[in-house]
Copies of this chain bind each other. A is one copy, B any other.
Amino acid sequence: MRRPQVLPDPTGALPDRVTIWEVGPRDGLQNEATVVPAAVKTAFIDRLVAAGHTIVEATSFVHPKWVPQLADAAEVLAGITRAEGVAFPVLVPNDRGMDRAIECGVTDIAVFASATEAFAQKNLNRGLESQFEMFEPVMARAQAEGMRVRGYLSMVFGDQWEGDVDPAQVVTVGRRLLDLGCHQLSLGDTIGVATAGHVRAVLRAFADAGVGMDRIAVHFHDTYGQALANTVVALEEGVTVVDASTGGLGGCPYAESATGNLATEDLVWMLDGLGVHTGVDLAALVDTSTWMAGHLGRPSPSRVVRALAG
């Protein structure tokens, strides 16, 4: 299989290692119309771990009425092969989801917040301010249970209803999540509109507000083809955790033009070429995406998968 020529960035500005936060099984599948059996999901997760992933977001305890694809969350969590040093975070939207997470013995959870008023209303049926009332009991219980909590912040770089989003507002909402006890913020370009300068500006706004890049992850969508260009800039700014979805599966069910998350393979191609360690094997990912494409009945949108599997 073709591999990129390894030529590290001569500026030395990039990190030596990047942790890929694999979101394929949760964010990738949640909006998938084809019903994926729990056994396929667990096999998918096991394959991702075998490929070298150390963080695989496994499923979600969102109410099955909203995300029927992930109604089998407990079954999936029971089925996956646990591996030393591998975390399987689960999205927990509310107190009822927290009950289920505790029942399943989950140790890592994520909460999903909006950076804008409009998306908070549309996605969470709450205002920008009142979304925190939903998180507070979840966070308190997580702390009591010794769970690590990641905070997703969506519509960070643009909102399909509001348009432009002020970086200052993003920082305010993000800091609220950190103050509530999130160990990490994942900054989401939910509709994929961000460009490189915008990414740098938002990251610097967080740094200026005292939030170090060790607490920030980036979550880009490739709707307008910008995901990897934005990732390069984020790495230059010191970010070392990047969200990606194997095969480029997924997108947000409540956002327009959700043509998908950054494909993990496209990210790994770039990081391998840069000599940045991820621990993830590209060939194993491409095999996995080809296998999953068979289950979903359509080819992966990842450019790397198309080039290498074709």
Q: How many copies does the complex hold?
A: 2
Complex: A193 Cα to B2 Cα, angstroms: 9
Pairs A–B under 8 Å by Cβ, sample size 27 = A4-B193, A4-B198, A5-B158, A5-B198, A7-B195, A9-B196, A9-B197, A10-B197, A10-B200, A10-B204, A11-B200, A192-B307, A195-B269, A195-B270, A196-B273, A196-B274, A224-B266, A224-B303, A225-B269, A225-B302, A226-B228, A226-B270, A228-B228, A229-B231, A229-B232, A229-B270, A259-B303
CB-based contact A273/B194 at 8 Å: yes
Q: Which residues of A contact B (CB under 8 A)?
A: 2, 4-5, 7-11, 14, 157-158, 163-165, 192-198, 200-201, 204, 222-226, 228-229, 231-233, 257, 259, 263, 266, 269-270, 272-275, 302-304, 306-307, 310
Chain B positions within 8 Å of A270 at CB level = 195-196, 226, 229
A5-B198, A197-B275 known; 10 new pairs, CB 8 Å cut-off, are A4-B198, A5-B163, A8-B197, A10-B204, A196-B270, A196-B274, A198-B273, A224-B303, A226-B266, A226-B273
A8 neighbours in B (Cβ, 8 Å)? 197
Task: Please report the C-alpha to C-alpha distance between residue A224 and residue B43 in the assembled complex, in whole angstroms.
Answer: 26
Complex Cα distance, B310 from A310, in Å, reads 26
**Nearest-Cβ distance from residue A303 to partner chain B, whole angstroms:** 4
A224-B307, A228-B226 known; A4+B200 contact, CB < 8 A = no
Interface contact A274-B9, CB-CB below 8 Å: no
Contact status of A201 and B269, CB under 8 A, knowing A5-B157, A263-B225, A303-B222: no
Tell me if A257 and B224 are in contact (CB < 8 A).
no
